[in-house]
Amino acid sequence: MRRRIVFLTALACGAAVSVWAGEADEARIRERVEQVKRSNSEAWQKVPWVASLTEARRLSEKERIPIFLFTHDGNIETGRC
């Protein structure tokens, strides 16, 4: 009887540790994902970029101000550039 109680107690503790480990893993993974998201600088998006070069030309002519044209390869919006 005593042996059985010890076995069941050990089993319950094991299950509790297993559940705890799962939650700890989830919290750790979530924090890692959040860290990467937080490190993504989106400051450049504060600039009121217009939609296209042709639209920039139209506005520039209308407002009589120059154009800042930034050309690149890839996709600046996703950091794949």
Which residues lie near other proteins (CB under 8 A)? Answer: 19, 22, 25-26, 29-30, 32-33, 35-37, 39-41, 43-44, 46-57, 59-61, 63-81
User: Which tokens is 76 given?
Assistant: 């600046």
Measured CA to CA, the distance from residue 75 to residue 22 in angstroms comes to 37
Which one, 2 or 23, has the nearer CB to other proteins?
23
Which one, 2 or 38, has the nearer CB to other proteins?
38
DSSP 3-state of 75 = strand
* Vertex 52: Cα angle to 76 and 77 (nearest 5): 15
- For the CB of residue 12, give the shortest distance to other proteins in the complex, in Å: 15
